[in-house]
């Protein structure tokens, strides 16, 4: 019979896997590698489940694990896990909104950001985390989050073709 | 309030990751996590009576062959007089044995040759292997415990030598089939296809059929850094200790380890014995990339002598073993 902690873990993993997968993809730009990063993240979560359960913010804790896994991969392989050549980038869906954003260009630009800047903007704008939450996950000050975000936005802005927003 | 740029970026990010399904492989997660927990227990578990038994199940490490002189037993080194006398590894022997099994292009030849030499040796007397295991953690006391692995797959453990007979008499078997599967995988590796053997060893911790993802990794094992490398390494460590009294198991383990690209082999001596040290780099340990293990074996017999675990340049854990072939009845009677 499955123990209660294991059942709780399974429910947790099932509810967070998709979100982790999306975040992992924007960090690495490769769905297959994202699979591996999330798998490893969930392994570490399983391994330290009691600690995760005691965390004030379980979501932030597990995101931190994912960031660590991504950083390990980054250090081990010394650069982008996939080519920054946008001809080779996987884009999940056809570009149906080219009038606003070219997705391949955006992903290419995102992947050429320093790893820390990339993680910061992904947490802020994909996950919708506040600066405080992002700082907790990144283990840095809110000021650092602000500065990393500003630099990343400056680099990515060229990919975002602004259209007039209704008043 | 986010700026228009920030709002647009958030929407663009969500578009980029839309409609990509993902279902975690819970079986693989549990498999890997349980192994990681086992390793944690090895590192921490040598100190503290409550966890020593668990640590014993996963003994990674080191055995030192020392004669016991007990009647009815065959000491492990004594079981390999030819190897002891020669002290070398004839290439012809290695070639003859390796010809019956496929070997990966990147195999470590010293290990393959030693495996061939060991595999040709007769099975030693006795029906069980007694392992006196001593664990030393940095800055902590040393703990010595006794593991008894029977040839039919049972496992008995005692924190004291004097307590082992009672464990055998009560048939307090703490094996759960894992060791038997790991030993079977190692034995298969002696003459079988190495890719198949690697898969058997990698998935020995599970009783379910190997999933497709790990089967796929077998074909790329020479690339290194794969989960299967880690699984094969850890299973081989177990098997090397559990089967330390059986030359076939040791030979199979050496053949399996020889195909792992992240393992380096160096020559040396330990307490006057010629030794080979097999160092598994962080690539064999998945996420724990700063952790590495070095297993030292007798260069003539393949019997494990010691294991050092830690980060490069720092040893956190050392395990040593004394391996003796015994008869189970003698252990039960306290004659050892």
pLDDT lower than 50: segments of chain A: 1-2, 81-89, 91-99, 163-167
**Alpha-carbon gap, residue B252 to B241, rounded angstroms:** 12
Do residues B76 and B325 lie in contact, with contact meaning Cβ atoms separated by under 8 Å? Answer: yes
- Cα angle value B176/B181/B183 (rounded, 5°): 115
Residues on chain B touching A93 (C-beta within 8 angstroms): 15, 18-19
Residue B141, chain A, CB below 8 Å: the answer is no
Cβ–Cβ of A47/B28 closer than 8 Å?
no
Q: What confidence score (pLDDT) does residue B21 get?
A: 80
CB-closest option in B4, B15, B286 to A40: B286
**Which of 188-247 (B) contact A at CB < 8 A?**
225
Q: Is the dihedral of CA B193, B199, B205, B211 positive or negative?
A: negative
H-run or E-run covering B265: strand B263-270
CB–CB of B13 and A21 under 8 A? no
Who's near B280: CB < 8 A, 6+ residues apart? B233, B260, B262, B263, B292, B293, B294, B295
**DSSP character for B163?**
T
- Asked if B26 and A76 come within 8 Å (Cβ–Cβ), the reply is no
**Contact of B75 with B67, CB cutoff 8 Å:** yes
Using CA atoms, how far residue B269 sits from B132, B241, B305, in Å, is 21, 20, 11
Alpha-carbon torsion angle A145, A151, A154, A159, nearest 10:
-80
In chain A, residues with a C-beta closer than 8 Å to the C-beta of B225 are 76
Task: Select the residue of A46, A75, A93 nearest B19 (Cβ to Cβ).
Answer: A93
Residues of chain A contacting B35 with CB distance shorter than 8 Å: none
Q: Which residues on A lie below 8 Å from B8 (Cβ)? A: 100-101, 160, 162
The C-alpha of B243 sits at a distance from chain A's nearest C-alpha, in angstroms, of 28
Helix (H, G, I), strand (E, B) or coil at A34: helix
Query: Can you tell me the distance from the alpha carbon of B271 to that of B90, in angstroms, rounded to the nearest whole number?
Result: 24
The 3-state DSSP class for residue B120 equals: coil
A–B CB contacts, 8 A cutoff, strictly below: 105
Give the global pTM: 0.53
**Which chain B residues are Cβ-neighbours of A162 within 8 angstroms?**
4-5, 8
- pLDDT in 10s for each residue of chain B, 336 residues: 578 888 888 988 998 888 778 888 877 787 777 666 665 555 443 333 333 333 333 332 223 332 333 322 233 333 332 223 233 333 333 333 333 333 344 567 889 999 999 999 998 999 999 999 988 877 777 888 899 999 999 989 888 899 999 999 999 887 778 789 999 999 999 999 999 999 999 888 777 788 887 888 888 887 777 778 888 988 899 899 999 999 999 999 999 999 998 899 999 999 899 999 999 876 666 544 467 889 999 999 999 999 988 877 888 788 899 999 999 999 999 999
CB atoms near residue B177 (< 10 Å): 11
Cα–Cα distance for residue pair B319/A119, rounded to 1 Å: 40
Q: B134-146 as b/e, with b when 16 or more CB fall inside 10 Å?
A: bbbbeeeeebbbb
């Amino acid at each position: 019979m499955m123990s209660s902690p294991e059942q709780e873990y399974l429910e947790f993993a099932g509810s967070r896997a998709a979100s982790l997968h999306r975040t992992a993809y924007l960090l690495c730009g490769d769905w297959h590698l994202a699979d591996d990063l999330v798998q490893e993240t969930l392994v570490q979560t399983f391994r330290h489940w009691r600690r995760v359960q005691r965390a004030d913010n379980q979501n932030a804790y597990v995101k931190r694990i994912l960031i660590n896994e991504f950083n390990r991969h980054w250090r081990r392989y010394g650069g982008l896990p996939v080519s920054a050549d946008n001809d080779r980038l996987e884009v999940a869906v056809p570009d149906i909104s080219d009038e606003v954003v070219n997705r391949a260009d955006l992903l290419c630009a995102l992947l050429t950001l320093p790893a820390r800047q990339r993680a910061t903007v992904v947490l802020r704008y994909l996950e919708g985390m506040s600066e405080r939450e992002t700082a907790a996950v990144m283990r840095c000050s809110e000021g650092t989050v602000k500065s990393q975000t500003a630099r990343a936005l400056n680099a990515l802005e060229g990919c975002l073709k602004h259209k007039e927003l209704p008043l | 309030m986010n700026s228009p740029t920030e709002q647009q970026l958030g929407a663009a990010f969500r578009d980029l990751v839309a409609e990509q399904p993902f279902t975690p492989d819970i079986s693989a997660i549990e498999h890997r996590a349980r192994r990681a927990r086992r390793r944690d227990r090895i590192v921490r578990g040598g100190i503290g009576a409550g966890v020593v038994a668990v640590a014993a199940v996963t003994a990674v490490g080191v055995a030192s062959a020392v004669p016991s002189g007990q009647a009815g037993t065959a000491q492990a080194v004594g079981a390999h007089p030819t190897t002891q006398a020669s002290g070398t590894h004839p290439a012809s022997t290695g070639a003859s044995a390796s010809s019956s099994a496929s070997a990966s292009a990147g195999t470590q030849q010293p290990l393959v040759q030693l495996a061939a030499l060991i595999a040709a040796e007769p099975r030693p007397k006795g029906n069980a292997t007694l392992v006196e295991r001593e664990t030393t953690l940095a800055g902590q006391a040393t703990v010595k415990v006794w593991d008894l692995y029977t040839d039919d797959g049972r496992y008995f453990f005692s924190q004291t030598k004097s307590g082992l007979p009672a464990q055998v008499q009560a048939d307090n078997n703490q094996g759960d089939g894992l060791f038997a599967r790991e030993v079977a995988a190692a034995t298969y590796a002696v003459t079988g296809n190495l890719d198949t053997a690697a898969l058997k060893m990698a998935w020995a911790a599970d009783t379910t059929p190997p999933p497709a993802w790990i089967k796929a990794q077998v074909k790329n094992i020479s690339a290194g850094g794969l989960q299967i490398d880690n699984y094969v390494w850890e299973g081989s460590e177990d098997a090397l200790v559990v089967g330390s009294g059986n030359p076939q198991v040791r030979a199979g383990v050496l053949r399996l380890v020889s195909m792992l690209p992240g393992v380096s082999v160096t020559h040396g001596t330990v307490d006057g014995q010629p030794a080979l040290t097999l160092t598994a780099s962080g690539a064999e340990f998945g996420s724990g990339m700063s952790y590495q293990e070095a297993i030292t074996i007798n260069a003539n017999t393949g019997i494990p002598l010691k294991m050092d675990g830690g980060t490069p340049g720092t040893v956190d854990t050392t395990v040593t073993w004394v391996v003796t072939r015994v008869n189970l009845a003698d252990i039960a009677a306290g004659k050892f």
